[in-house]
Structures are given as C-alpha cells and as structure tokens.
C-alpha cells in the first residue's frame, strides 16, 4: 500500500515593508533584525533613504548584499521629511506582487509576532491594521501609548489610528493610496502625515480598519523623532498651538477632501456634510459641528476637549 502524498504546506503571508530612513545609523541594524526576524510571514523590505549624512545607506547596502529580502531604491533629491519619503515609496513600489504592505521607521523594535498577528486580522476582513505601542527611551520608563479606544463615525478626520510604524495594509489599500498620490487632481499629496492619510482613505472607502489592543512595537523616543508618542505637557502645548493657528482644522479639511476622492456611496453624504462644516466658521456651523463632536475623536477625554474648543471658537 503506497503512502499518501503529503499535502504542501500553506504559503506564508507575503509582506512588503516600506522602510523610510534618514540618519538612522545608530538604530537601523536592530530595526532590520526585528523586521527580518518576524515569524510565520514571507517578508521583504524596500528601503528609501532621504539624503542621510551618516552611515545609514552603507549599512542598508551591506544588509542588502547579504540578504536578498532587502532592497534599496534611490532618489536624486531629498524628500524633506518622513511623510514625503513614505509618499515616494508608495508611488514607486510595484504592488502587483507585494502581498500585504507595512510601514516601518528606522529606529523601533518590532515584537516577533507583529506581522503574523496583523496578517491574520487582514485575512479576517480588515484592510488596515494598527496597534497600541510601548514608548521607551534610552534612560526613561516604558509607557503604554493607547490608541485602541473604540472608533467613532468620523474619528479618522481628526486623528490617526496610531503610529504608522504599526500599520499593515491590504494590497488594495496600498494600491488605492498609490493611485491617489499619482493623481495630480487628488488632495492626497497635500496631507502632512502619511499614516493619517491611509486611515482616511480606508475608512472613507468604507473598508474596515482594526486598532489592535496588543502593543506590537517598542516605539523609541529621542530628539530626532518626526512626531513621537505625544506624551507630556510639552506635547500638549504643541498640539494646542497647532489648533490655535488653525493647522489642525486645515489638515482635517484637506483629508476630508482626500476622503471624498475615494468615498463610497455610504460614506459620501457624511463626508460632504463634514467638509461643509469644516469650511464654514459662522455660529450656525459651529453649533452643528459641536453636535458632532462626540464622533470626532475616539477617547472620551479628547471628545470633551474638541467639543470645548469648537464651542469657544478655537478649533
């Protein structure tokens, strides 16, 4: 009696990690190790450096020379910031064989099961996944940064779902972002934060985004962070300054327009109403916006704050 032919093992989820770097030589090897060491996924890294003046590029080239899962693309000019560099990656990478798509910073530590855990959530129906993180510094305490408060109808217009370094996205979401960034008529390229933009595109399209309650990244805090964990009094003062000078409302307006460019039939009426309220400043529109303050942020405290700021005419 012949032995049955063993069935082939199921293919591991393929994940393409978009890594944006700038003067990260101090941390890049550790970050690469924690990405390439991810369990139960077929991972590759595509890196794009933004005019580093340290050894970042040399370290990336050394790793690419010994590990064919790492590749580097180049640009002749500086992007001028993390979001701009991620936008260049989104524009240039061929997603036809990319599988799922993740963002990575140069200086964090990914926990071993991050990608496999989040790939399972995408497989279950999500198009975007992010998570809580644990913020840490070289000599400071470790602190949970919670982003996984329950989502609200329009929270995506006023906040991101967590640090972009936690993101895992379906191929169709990454492709949608690529199409919008390539379209000169789309407002997408004017968004100041790539992570917030991807959340808007996903939710406005009517697709599902999951914010995982389990921290999957040790989120390094240091003086060169583009944004950081937004902890402490100094971060609160900075956010209030952005609100007072109308940057936050202006950014919400840009992102609402970006959302409308991809909106589903179900989300479009609500987005059109929110855009109208964001663009008007009179008492009637302020009162109407105040009535929707409970849908604009996930955390209860933040909803109360934004309501107060709207009522006072500061936001």
Average confidence (pLDDT) over 164-190: 97
pLDDT score recorded for residue 231: 57
Q: Is 8 exposed, middle or buried (0-12, 13-18, 19+ CB in 10 A)?
A: exposed
pLDDT digits (tens, 9 = 90+) for 148-172: 999 999 999 999 999 999 999 999 9
The architecture in CATH of the region 14-227 reads Alpha-Beta Complex (3.90)
pLDDT digits (tens, 9 = 90+) for 197-255: 999 999 999 999 999 999 999 999 987 554 455 555 666 687 778 888 889 999 999 99
Instruction: Name the segment(s) of the chain with CATH classification 3.90.550.10.
Output: 14-227
Q: Measured between alpha carbons, how far is 215 from 302 in angstroms, rounded to an integer?
A: 21
Where do the H-state alpha helices sit in 184-267?
Answer: 194-204, 233-244, 247-260
pLDDT score recorded for residue 235: 64
What 3 state SS string does 95-123 have? HHHCCEEEEECCCCEECCCHHHHHHHHHH
Let me know the angle formed at the C-alpha of 254 by 307 and 184, rounded to the nearest 5 degrees: 170
Helix (H, G, I), strand (E, B) or coil at 58: helix
Q: Measured between alpha carbons, how far is 20 from 77 in angstroms, rounded to an integer?
A: 14
Of the two residues 9 and 135, the one the predictor is more confident about is 135
Q: Measured between alpha carbons, how far is 43 from 70 in angstroms, rounded to an integer?
A: 9
Average pLDDT of every residue of the chain: 94
Based on its alpha-carbon atoms, the radius of gyration of the chain, rounded to whole angstroms, reads: 20
Of the two residues 238 and 50, the one the predictor is more confident about is 50
Question: Considering only CA atoms, which of 158, 15, 188 is closest in space to residue 87?
Answer: 188
pLDDT score recorded for residue 238: 78
Helix (H, G, I), strand (E, B) or coil at 43: strand
């Amino acid at each position: 009696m012949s032995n049955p032919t063993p069935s082939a093992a199921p293919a591991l989820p393929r994940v393409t990690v978009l890594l944006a770097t700038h003067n990260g030589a101090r941390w890049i090897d550790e970050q690469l190790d924690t990405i390439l060491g991810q369990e139960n996924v077929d991972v590759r890294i595509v890196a794009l450096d933004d005019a580093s003046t340290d050894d970042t590029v040399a370290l990336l080239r050394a790793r690419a020379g010994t590990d064919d899962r790492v590749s580097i693309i180049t640009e002749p000019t500086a992007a001028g910031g993390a979001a701009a560099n991620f936008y260049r990656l989104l524009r240039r990478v061929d997603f036809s064989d990319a599988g799922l798509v993740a963002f990575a910073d140069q200086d964090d530590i990914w926990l071993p099961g991050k990608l496999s855990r989040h790939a399972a959530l995408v497989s279950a129906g999500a198009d975007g996944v992010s998570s809580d993180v644990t913020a840490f510094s070289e000599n400071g305490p470790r602190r949970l940064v919670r982003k996984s408060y329950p989502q609200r109808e329009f929270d995506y217009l006023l906040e991101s779902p967590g640090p972009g370094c936690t993101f895992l996205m379906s191929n169709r979401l990454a492709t949608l972002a690529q199409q919008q960034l390539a379209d000169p008529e789309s407002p997408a390229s004017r968004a100041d934060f790539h992570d917030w933009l991807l959340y808007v595109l996903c939710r406005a399209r009517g697709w599902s985004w999951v914010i995982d309650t389990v921290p999957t990244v040790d989120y390094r805090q240091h003086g060169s962070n583009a944004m950081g964990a937004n902890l402490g009094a100094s971060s609160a003062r900075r956010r209030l300054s952005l609100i007072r000078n109308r940057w936050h409302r202006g950014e919400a307006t840009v992102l609402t327009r970006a959302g409308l460019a991809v909106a589903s039939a179900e989300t479009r009426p609500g987005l059109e109403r929110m855009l109208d309220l964001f663009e008007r400043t009179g008492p009637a529109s302020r009162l109407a916006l105040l009535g929707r303050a409970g849908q604009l942020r996930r955390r209860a405290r933040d909803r109360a704050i934004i309501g107060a700021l709207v009522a006072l005419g500061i936001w």
